[in-house]
Amino acid sequence: MSELTRLSVDEMRTGLLTGAFTALDLTDAHLKRIDATNEQFNSFLTICADKAREQARVADERIRKEGSQSPALCGIPIAIKDMLLTDGVETTAASKILKGFIPPYDATPVAKLKERDSIILGKTNQDEFAMGSSNENSAFGPVRNPWDPSRVPGGSSGGSVVAVALGQAPLSLGTDTGGSIRQPASLTGVFGMKPTYGRVSRYGVIAFASSLDQVGPFARSTVDLAYALDAICGYDSNDSTSMKREVPAFREELRKWEGKSLEGIRVGVPKEYFIDGNEPDVQAATQESLKTLEKLGAKLVDISLPHTEHALEVYYIIAPAEASSNLSRYDGVRYGYRSPNAKTLSELYSKTRAEGFGREVKRRIMIGTYVLSAGYYDAYYRKAQEVRTLIIDDFKAAFNNHCDVIAAPVSPTTAFKIGEKAQSPLAMYLADVFTIPASLAGLPGMSVPTTLDRNGLPIGLQLLGAPFTESTLLRVSQALEHAGNFDTRRNCS
Ligand code: GLN
């Protein structure tokens, strides 16, 4: 049944509706694939085999009753990043401090998938509390890149991208705070989208930096990505930053554009993203993609986003500041790990946190506490918020006056070796230089796999849009996908 793990969502849906196979067959095939590969790649932290089979039986029943009226993702397996709470299933954010924590409810995106009777295969590995760009900051070991197991898959959603690339799941969810969907998608050759801030509910999503965090899907094609977006987007009164905006029918919209040119689409090319530090193959691949866009009928426009160079500094003030506040709840009293070595209340807090958090998380808490402290707040935090506004204004000016989408590299490099940047936080932070600006501006962004570098490692193209223009990004992605020959279904491992 191994071929079942390489199908598109449309093919799975057809198979389920015609009775060629059942949701249980699909689920078993994916569980088998996970079983055969997880030891090597470490992409899943928790595998929900029994629950998944039970859900598959329910989905099969629903498909028998409702046929084509059943939801599009009924019976389709999906993997969930361990940042999203799952009712009754251990959720750790890949941190020792949450080891053993069993949430009493589902995050809204998970609840929405369950309403549709999608199959939750398990929880995927990630950087601890989503802080990282390589998945090496997981308390439960690194994830390996299927294109070269000596390399990182990117991060922080490393397990979720590897699940999709390896055929352990056709779809998965990740979170993106500064690039954690787009960067790992690029480094493993899958499609990944961070929707507009406010498009997907953050209710039940473990908070890292609340003004930046956003949930989004991974898939092996644009259409599959659209199916996942259809399921998870929408207003939720449980999240005060969730937006009351109509959600387009993304899958349907794509049907309209299939085979059509990109006539009328203006693609902004920001000069600040084409820097000397980019690997030559990344630079060349991006130029090649721009040519393809032009051939497809799009118009290229040179633009400037002048405050780009400050985005990294701004992010590494605001994100740690919010994290230091959000992570104060892990005190050994309410959830997860509690130090057995504490004699007083104050020791309970300090020892639990000292033993429970990993190095990078502690570094962020210290930076965040520092930039928020009296005497430094104005110099760092307030200043960063002011520069954030300038970055937002750069994008506004570009989208109001010059272009409909922006195209740029996702990351200056392809997948690096495990351990290569682990000793230098700064080198690691630089991996996000092209994804962070759009996060600060709350914009939708995606990575479209386009080609391989000279070492056979995937390269993605980043597409960014004005708020709530996910459909336009998908339209451009679909055109690029069809014009190119990147095979996301190929067994890379
Ligand atoms: N790599 C960035 C960080 O470490 C972004 C992470 C993310 O988007 N969650 O903060």
**SS3 state at 263:** coil
**180 flagged as catalytic:** yes
In terms of residue numbers, what domain contains 108? 2-258
Residue-level pLDDT at 431: 87
In a domain, 44, yes or no: yes
**156 flagged as catalytic:** yes
In a domain, 490, yes or no: no
To test ligand 1's pocket by mutation, which of 160, 180, 429 has the most ligand atoms within 8 angstroms of CB? Answer: 180
**C-alpha 462 to ligand 1 mean position (Å):** 16
**C-alpha 305 to ligand 1 mean position (Å):** 21
- Distance from chain centroid for Cα 64: 33
Which ligand 1 atom is the nearest neighbour of the CA of 209? Answer: 9
Tell me the CATH number at 106.
3.90.1300.10
- Number of folded domains that form the chain: 1
Which ligand 1 atom is the nearest neighbour of the CA of 157? Answer: 9
In a domain, 93, yes or no: yes
Q: Which pTM was predicted? A: 0.97
Residue-level pLDDT at 422: 86
**Given the residues 70, 95, 172, 180, the one annotated as active site:** 180
**C-alpha 145 to ligand 1 mean position (Å):** 18
**C-alpha 311 to ligand 1 mean position (Å):** 13
**Given the residues 43, 134, 138, 156, the one annotated as active site:** 156
**C-alpha 175 to ligand 1 mean position (Å):** 9
**C-alpha 490 to ligand 1 mean position (Å):** 28
Which ligand 1 atom is the nearest neighbour of the CA of 360? Answer: 4
Q: Which of 468, 488, 491 is nearest to 223 (CA)?
A: 488
Residue-level pLDDT at 336: 86
Which ligand 1 atom is the nearest neighbour of the CA of 208? Answer: 9
> Do strands 299-303 and 405-409 pair parallel, antiparallel, or not at all (unpaired)?
unpaired
Q: Which of 490, 476, 489, 471 is nearest to 233 (CA)?
A: 471
**C-alpha 432 to ligand 1 mean position (Å):** 7
Query: Residue with the nearest Cα to atom 10 of ligand 1?
Result: 131
To test ligand 1's pocket by mutation, which of 127, 186, 360 has the most ligand atoms within 8 angstroms of CB? Answer: 127
Residue-level pLDDT at 439: 98
In a domain, 66, yes or no: yes
Give the whole-angstrom CA distance, residue 154 versus residue 36: 22
User: By the 8 A CB rule, do 279 and 470 touch?
Assistant: no
In a domain, 53, yes or no: yes
In a domain, 361, yes or no: no
Tokens of 29: 């095939």
Return per-residue pLDDT of the chain as tens, 493 residues: 359 999 999 999 999 999 999 999 999 999 999 999 999 999 999 999 999 999 999 999 999 999 999 999 999 999 999 999 999 999 999 999 999 999 999 999 999 999 999 999 999 999 999 999 999 999 999 999 999 999 999 999 999 999 999 999 999 999 999 999 999 999 999 999 999 999 999 999 999 999 999 999 999 999 999 999 999 999 999 999 999 999 999 999 999 999 999 999 999 999 999 999 899 999 999 999 999 999 999 999 999 999 999 999 999 999 999 999 999 999 999 888 999 999 999 999 999 999 999 999 999 999 999 999 989 999 999 999 999 999 999 999 999 999 999 999 999 999 999 999 988 888 888 889 999 999 999 999 999 999 999 999 999 999 999 999 999 999 999 999 999 989 887 766 6
In a domain, 337, yes or no: no
Residue-level pLDDT at 1: 39
To test ligand 1's pocket by mutation, which of 125, 133, 197 has the most ligand atoms within 8 angstroms of CB? Answer: 133
- Ligand 1 neighbours (beta carbon < 6 A): 130-133, 156, 176-180, 208, 319, 432
**Given the residues 43, 81, 221, 471, the one annotated as active site:** 81
Residue corresponding to tokens 């230089």: 433
Sheet holding 405-409, edge to edge: 44-47, 119-124, 77-81, 171-176, 214-219, 191-194, 445-452, 458-465, 405-409, 266-270, 299-303
Instruction: Give the DSSP H or E segment for 252.
Output: helix 250-257
Query: Residue with the nearest Cα to atom 5 of ligand 1?
Result: 178
In a domain, 6, yes or no: yes
